[in-house]
Chain A
């Protein structure tokens, strides 16, 4: 099963190498990884989608927690959350098919962000299913280039995975024993 982990890390150089190295070294499968700064400039948030059964995910979380630069790990898979990916698609678009492509763009509430003599560049955001669907719909026109971000996610409502003052967290994760 695929799990979505949201991981708060110190915004240090090297932290991405630590996390990526951990996954490859211990043989965990990363589906996607997205990282960026948070509202606190000293903290970055990684959203990691990882494949594995509960036992594997437990180990992944614990091994991540063991990294000194990791502040907090939350598995939000089972919780209500919003998740998004962003894709840019450059698709062949002769004048004869542009109308059809623009209809598809409309349906998916995507946007055309650039136009070439024979191509259109489309930006779409959405959850994984929607992104997959728009890609499938555009395939018949021949996709020339595609770039896709990893998933980012956030809990719904007034619940947070952030740490208070950026300072609590790790211990809570370990409370189960």
Chain B
């Protein structure tokens, strides 16, 4: 039996056991939506295509399964772009479908035509323009395969309208053979031995773990390695939750707004074991002063990451989980040494801290969220100070519980990501820790959350500033606050207008009560507007271009 391209697409999504599609209909995807109408597939209608991409991304990060989104041609497709770039930078598996003008109209500046294939070349792992319906099923199979294997990432499939209308025989292929795509999964045995020897010799080792540990599902192996060899672990922003932060070996996050003790440990270590991390500039600070005394082992699935930013002594290309399993068979048990005593001393001497002054401190709000949720919530963030305070003051113990735009730093990410996370994990409490600036970038998605009765909580740390930019202006631009004093709507009324619960908290003593009240709401989103100390800054801080052990303090 022959099916239309649109029906083939729907069949493929069913074959891939897709549970949630985030999308927005339009002219070029009318046939696809018509086919979806008859399908048991669950489609979530967002209010802006950017919300669809971020929701699919949040879904993927929370569940480990690929996120799926759909948009129409032209503006629908270009609205996905920021979401795709966000997912690309953080290696998140997405499959995005866009409608396109019919093949005979391609290249003629037709109505709602945009070359989304060309536009997304540099921000997708791979992309396709399907010109023949006979190729569609194969392309979709390849797209899911590419998105979810190797180093994960977003894949876009552009489907001209006539391709979704034309018919072809449906035959869902097996795992495709792509001669240009063969991720190396097992570490090279010689390099594993070298790494094991280096670990045995090291006197001051540190593990630096990134998002690759989470995407590979290797948290358990990481914990085993750290405990067996007694190696302290610092994580990147993307690696939060890969290693329990309440573990005695945890150093918390490193880098620009990392803990002092993590940055000191990295600066003093004689062996740095980078696992699923990519030496981003926000992590390394001044590159020649990063881990200057250390030999470096770098474990990563992407060979192009090895040696990209720093010289590596022992490179191991492979899937983090499998490499760690290989390594665990070769390493010997370690023990506590002076190094651990030194780190304990740093931890006691330089804890993350803030001072109460009668106003609501954002750090206090984050700590209270931690307590009210018993540390078990899924936290999404926007981008800026809110993101860093969430990272610093919520103790993450499990993978896939911290969901944040790390690489691209996309404001407006947190709310739609929270929607995706809540849909993917309906039993969990999902909190979006937000700023008053970035929440306004995708605030329209409150309507989506209300429509699907999602009990997500949005905690706005409201300082009426674009706070992180203001902080830089204060410290590096002589306090010239150029256009960072931003106003917002009455967020309580806005929440109510959307059909959500709105609350405002202006006193520290009311923070806890408001959060507890929010936890009781199960049938709609809750937005809490915390009016915080306006001038609060994120510390410690490595100034741009500085060495990570030279941190500014408040």
A-side residues, CB < 8 A to B, are: 9-10, 13-14, 17-18, 21-22, 25, 55, 58-59, 62-63, 65-71, 163, 166-171, 174-175, 177
Which A-B residue pairs are the 7 nearest by beta carbons?
A: A62-B304, A177-B317, A68-B126, A177-B315, A71-B180, A171-B182, A170-B182
Q: Mark B175-219 against chain A: 1 for CB-CB distance below 8 A, else 0.
A: 001111110100110010000000000000000000000000000
- B126 close to A171 (CB less than 8 A): no
- List the A residue with the shortest CB-CB distance to B177: A167
* CB neighbours of B28 from chain A (8 A): none
Contact among A62, A66, A163 for B179, CB-based, below 8 A: A163
Check if B451 is an interface residue, CB within 8 A of chain A: no
Hey, which chain A residues are within 8 Å of B315, CB to CB?
A: 177
Chain B residues with Cβ under 8 A from A63's Cβ? 304
Which A residues touch B308, using CB under 8 A? 59
Q: Are A17 and B121 in contact (CB under 8 A)?
A: yes
Q: Write the nearest CB–CB distance from A22 to chain B, whole angstroms.
A: 8
Residues on B facing A (Cβ under 8 Å): 117-118, 121-122, 125-126, 129, 146, 177-182, 184, 187-188, 191, 302-304, 306-308, 315-317
Q: If A17-B118, A65-B304 touch, does A174 touch B184 (CB 8 Å cutoff)?
A: yes
A65 and B183 CA atoms in complex are apart in Å by 11
Complex alpha-carbon distance, A10 and B315, angstroms: 29
Please name all residues of chain B whose beta carbon is closer than 8 Å to the beta carbon of A174 when the two chains form the complex: 184, 303, 317
Chain A residue nearest to B155 in the complex (CB): A68
Q: Are B180 and A10 in contact (CB under 8 A)?
A: yes
Task: Give the residues in chain B near A168, CB-CB below 8 Å.
Answer: 179
Of all chain A residues, the one with the shortest Cβ separation from B146 is A68
Chain B residues within 8 Å of A13, by CB:
129
Instruction: Assess the A67–B307 pair: CB atoms within 8 A.
Output: no
In the assembly, what is the distance between CA of A58 and CA of B303, in Å? 10
Residue numbers in A under 8 Å from B182 (CB-CB): 170-171
Q: Which residues on the A side are within 8 Å of B307 (C-beta)?
A: 55, 58-59
The answer to whether B178 touches A68 (Cβ under 8 A) is yes
Q: Which residue of B lies closest to A171 (CB)?
A: B182
Q: Is B122 a contact partner of A21 (Cβ separation < 8 A)?
A: yes
Query: Distance (Å) between the CB of A87 and the closest chain B CB?
Result: 32
CB proximity of A39 to chain B, nearest CB, Å: 16
A138 CB, min distance to chain B CBs, angstroms: 40
CB pair A66–B304 under 8 Å, yes or no, is: yes
5 A/B residue pairs, CB under 8 Å, sorted by A: A63-B304, A66-B304, A69-B180, A168-B179, A171-B184
Chain B residues with CB under 8 A of A71? 179-180
Cα separation A171 to B117 with both chains bound (whole Å): 27
* B306–A177 CB distance below 8 A: yes
A18-B121, A21-B121, A68-B126 in contact; A177/B303 too (CB < 8 A)? yes
Chain B: which residue is nearest A168 at the CB level? B179
Which residues of B lie under 8 Å from residue A67 when comparing CB positions?
Answer: 180
Query: What is the bound-complex CA distance between A163 and B179, given in angstroms?
Result: 10
Alpha-carbon distance A59/B302, docked complex (angstroms):
12
- Which of A9, A62, A169 counts the most B-chain CB atoms under 10 A from its CB? A62
Residues of A within 8 A of B118 (CB): 17
Closest chain A residue to B142, Cβ basis: A68
**15 additional contacts (CB under 8 A) given A14-B121, A21-B122:** A14-B129, A17-B121, A22-B122, A59-B308, A62-B303, A65-B303, A66-B302, A67-B180, A68-B180, A69-B180, A169-B179, A170-B179, A174-B317, A177-B315, A177-B316
Q: A67-B180, A170-B180, A177-B316 are in contact. Are A14 and B117 (CB under 8 A)?
A: yes
Q: Which chain B residues border A70 with CB–CB below 8 Å? A: 180
B191 and A68 contacting across the interface, CB-CB below 8 Å: no
| Smallest CB gap from B181: residue in A | A68
Q: Do the beta carbons of B181 and A177 come within 8 Å of each other?
A: no
Across the interface, name the chain B residue whose C-beta is closest to A60. B304
Chain B residue at smallest Cβ distance from A69 = B180
Distance (whole angstroms) from the CB of B120 to the closest CB of chain A: 11
Cα-based distance from A10 to B126 in the complex (angstroms): 13
Question: Across the interface, which residues of A come within 8 angstroms of B179, CB to CB?
Answer: 10, 71, 163, 166-170
Name the CB-closest residue of B to A163. Answer: B179
Enumerate chain B residues within 8 angstroms of A17, measured Cβ to Cβ.
118, 121
Task: A66 to B151: give the CA distance in the assembly, Å.
Answer: 10
Rounded to whole angstroms, the CA-CA distance of A174 and B183 in the bound complex is 9
Contacts of A175 in B (CB 8 A): 188
Shortest C-beta distance, A93 to chain B (Å), equals: 42
**Cβ of A49 to closest chain B Cβ, rounded Å:** 21
Question: Please, how many angstroms separate the alpha-carbon atoms of A170 and B150 in the complex?
Answer: 14
A13 to B115, CA, bound (A): 14
Question: CA separation between A25 and B118, bound complex, in Å?
Answer: 14
The chain B residue with its CB closest to the CB of A12 is B128
B304's partner among A18, A55, A59 (CB-CB below 8 A) is: A59
Report the separation of the CA atoms of residues A60 and B188 in the bound assembly, to the nearest whole angstrom: 22
User: What chain A residues lie within 8 Å of B304 (beta carbons)?
Assistant: 59, 62-63, 65-66
Contacts of B129 in A (CB 8 A): 13-14
Question: Once the chains are docked, how many angstroms separate the CA of A55 from the CA of B304?
Answer: 11
Cα of A65 to Cα of B146 in the assembled complex, Å: 15
- Residues in chain B near residue A55, CB distance under 8 A: 307
Q: Distance (Å) between the CB of A19 and the closest chain B CB?
A: 10
